[in-house]
Structure 1
Amino acid sequence: MTNIITLPQQVGHEILSELVCVDLRAAIKELIDNSLDAGAKKIVIKIENFGLTSFSVNDDGHGIAEENFPLLGVRSCTSKINTLEDFKNIKTYGFRGEALHALGITSDLSIKTKVEEAITGFNIFFNQSGILDRTEQICMTRGTTITVTNFLCRRPVRRHYHEGRKVKALEEVLGLIQTYVFARIDVRYELSHTQNGKVKSLLTSMGRNCTLKGVMDQVLGGKPPMSQTTTSIVESPISTQYFNHFKLAQIPNLLHYQDEIHFEGVISFVQKGMGCSGKHRFFLYVNGRPMTCLRIGTAVKEVYKRFNPSEFPQMILYITMPPSIIDVNTSALKDVLESKCIEILLAKLCSSLDSMFYQDNESIVLTNNKRKNPYVDNENRGISSFPAAKRPKATSILSNVLDNDISSNQTTLDGIVVVKPREIKCESQSVVQNIPTALEIDENIQTTEPINGMEIDKSSNVIQKSPGEIISTTNDAGKESSEIELNKTAKNVDDAVFKTPTRVATSYQKKNSIPDGENANKCSEVRDEIKIIEEIMVVRRTTRTIRPLKLVKFSKINFTNRLKKVGEEKELEKDKRNFHKQFAKDSIKDHEAELKCEIRKTDFQNMEIIGQFNMGFIFCSLGHNIFVFDQHACDEIYNYEMLIKNTTITSQPLQTPTVLDVGALRENVLQNNIAVFEKCGFRLKIDESREVGSRTLLTALPVVAKCQYETSDLIQMLDNLLNFPNSNCVPKKTKALFASMACRKSVMIGKPLSFRQMRSIVEHLEDLKAPWNCPHGRPTFRFIARHSEDQNK
């Protein structure tokens, strides 16, 4: 335990932050940091009346020595660092020495603490300036309890803001504790909230000798549990693709840090159903400190979306980096990652995830509809872009035939399912081009040796099958179609030269693999089938019409002049299309207002109806602006929002209630919005005797014609409420049903309307939450033109 000192003025000024403990989450975070730095193994957070009355953080750390009491509430007093050099190698969670000072001057602060050697503990009180006021001896066990009452009582504006969002503030604290649970799984966390004398436990972690999978299942919940839908992250070297993508060649002096950057953790499988449908959940820890980094989150999501486009990943990532290349003091909460080696970290992380996901999904099926392989980039990406250690092992066509159980209709070629030639029609050009006709030479081959009776010439990428037959392979990624050329000396089909693009991923077998018996017959069948394909392709090639060459005169000067003339014509045409208006210098603001067109909901009442056009559109004017309204879309969005607002869906009770294992954070949101779910037809019951995270029981499901609801619909609503608290939370199935009902109920195109009906349709838009589009996305109105006062309407 180090004594508290006052930092030098220059050091304190360098790391100073004016925004400390400005809300409930920030205050509790600072106190938890102090508890972890004190070596605590159990941290208990108690909140009363959303923090407005009081909140406290209790830990079993080593306590505070009596000689340090006078400096506890003084600004820039800490025991974590002494100089700026210590800051470059910081390993503690806190270091500024500002949290207790900020709480002391904005709220009422008291501290109870006891060290192991002391006989009694002390209760410490501070005045309004955060200075030590008095102390009292008390009886307590080792540890520290910091209590804050009348939070932000001396900052009325911020307290008023906190009162307006107190429910959201409590959810933020719950999310914060979730984050710290994964930062230190050996520490036991307990979070409870007291309101109207009733104590409610929000989260309790296991601590001690627990495992990461156990903590994931307990805290995050979900069905199936997160431990069953995630895989461990395997670290891999930086691939050439991501080396170039993140432009690491521009920072050669930092590349040596890639050997000092390591990471581990878990991420969702890329198979369908393993990710989450809502916003992705991402927990990031750098050297044990909870952090956020938008670039890392975006990069992980982009890699994951290439393999699973319809879902988002869940990820817990632990990064270890040298403290000297990290700056954790860029934000008031010390939770934003900034590093000069961020590109190296991103390249290494993306390479590792890409290699992992590719190995899990290296099999594809080749069909006539040319299904796109989501695991191969469109930009020069193939197996060769992976590190050599991570490439799939090469096996020959014949060894696959011998080792695998092959049906009568398919042949497996190195993980690629190919339809047999007897099922291929000659006129299907796209199918023939997708059939591999030669073997691709692996870049790792260093010697020339015979393979199944064929000799390999590494330098020329040629396989010599027989004295008169040559099979040639090319590594030119720019060639996208198979090409067959007849040798000038070739006398039959066997003398053809075959060129195959690198995207056909087949390989070879070792030297002494000689099939016998029944396997030899299979090999013979495969050879015959390959020969049939070769004959088909040779016929297609030889029957093509060859155009005669024609000599054309070419002048470089004339060509340059023609290009210049075409460019000038395009620029002239572009200028004609552009809108030009000259303004006087003394009236720029007036002309800016003239070009600006903004409409609010209240403007719908002031619209002047001009008339109906084509029995489908309503023309209106507002001042000098003319608008056109889609009568069907306007009436449809009005009917849709009225259905959502006024319809209460009936419920069908379940014979056996379903336990909702949704985790602590989701459970808190669920219990705070029970009325929203009951309006949608979900009936819920709270069982306080059950474990935190699974105390909510689903007792009834909605009943709507032609719609069958499941628990997943409720989870989807819960995710929307968690990400967008003030949105209209309705299941997707209900939205689709209401949109269809509103469409059939609305005014159709082709119906003539009176002026009263047209005005009613336009004025209804003022009362809607989102009157700008219909439920199916069609805009309700558009700005047409602006007319002057002397023009006729």
Structure 2
Amino acid sequence: ISCINQTKNGGRTLVVSTQGGETVRDNISCIFGPKQVQSLMEFQQKMPNETMLQEYGISEGSALTENLLQLEGCISSCAHGQGRSTTDRQFFYVNSRPCEPTKVIKLVNEVYHQFNQYQYPFVFLNLKMARDNVDVNVTPDKRQVFMDHEKLLTATIKVNNMVRLTAHAELEQESVLKSLTTTHISSGRTEQMKCEDEEITHPHDNEISIDTERPAVVKLDDEKVDGLSRKVIHMSVSIESIKKKIKRKKHKRSRDKHDVSVKFRTEIDPAKSQAAEQELRKEISQDMFAKMEILGQFNLGFIVTRLGSDLFIIDQHATDEKYNFEMLQLNTVLQNQRLVIPQKLDLTAVNESILIENEEIFNKNGFDFIIDEKAEPTKRVQLTAIPVSKNWQFGKEDIDELLFMLEDSPHTMCRPSRVRAMFASRACRKSVMIGMALSKTDMRRLVDHMGEIEQPWNCPHGRPTMRHLLNLDLIHNGKSLSV
């Protein structure tokens, strides 16, 4: 195959060509160069072990009877520099037909990132299976496919990928250890040689005399060891010089002790909210909230805390609202109302598959369905109940929104935008209000709650929950901070 680009002026430029190689490696070498082939490792066919089968909920008997899959292909080494910065060289096939199996692509990259988290692998993977187990008539471009025994397929690919990359990583580690051991032994011999070369004779205890004014001179005799001449070293030592060095070192330590480490530089300004939030994300971890000292309440609306030398001000209403909102998001199961007649959903085959796999998430959001596995694709799901909550109404558009979110993050708890708006309103009404006096116990509880949620920096309505006030060391040292 030869691909040529011909310009308007008649010039012809060869873009890519193959030489009819008999193997895939030969063709990869023609297109991407021999350097790419050197880093590739072949996939090895291996059945998943008992632990892997349990992880995917597959019985051992069914795994043996369903051994209808063959893996063919290669993946690049996990050594740093052998991967790619993007996924531009990943090729997946089913029965030699190019396709884009989303779950397989995600799994291969996730396993590779366990060994090399900064790069993506070169992948050529051809899945061979019976034609009856594959449905290619899902999308017009035939890139999306449905496969039977998908869990077994996923487990097989994962265990083969893990075994191959683990073996290579162990070889890399072994070679590094060998080089380090060799270096250590050679350096040890060098040190031993130096020690043998320098023999210092010490006088008897009754012959030692120290003169504080006059420096003592240590001289090493000039001898030859194994034909090598030893250097003569003269070293002057006196008690006064030692005292001066100790005094200088103490002065340097006391000076370094008073140097202030400034972590927060952004002013409290609505125009600089994003920069202030980035500083907090970088410097404050979840476990630090429990270590904060409660200093008191300011203006019946803010909590002042201290962490080391830094003072922080926390909005008592915004932080309580954020915590209540996250708890509602996580734990609330919406009540629903049954439909008199089940409603048909006009879903594509892909969206229908996503809905079936994430049915428990839809149930938590108040939607119930009847699923007929024997029906034709796009006609297997019917809506039987919709969520209700006072004046809030939900329907088909909320299902479409959930499907869109679950397409990129399957099995992740999520809520439609209107449900989040309802939870934000409820969280606001049940939270601690501005103007409410708080005891030290109440303030401690609110601050500890911030360490229990992943993103405590803003309330659901966008109001910041905390900001840095000042560093006490700057005040004690009389220094000013230039922003």
The two structures have a TM-score, normalised by structure 2, of 0.48
Instruction: Answer 1 or 2: higher relative contact order, Cα 8 Å, separation at least 6.
Output: 2
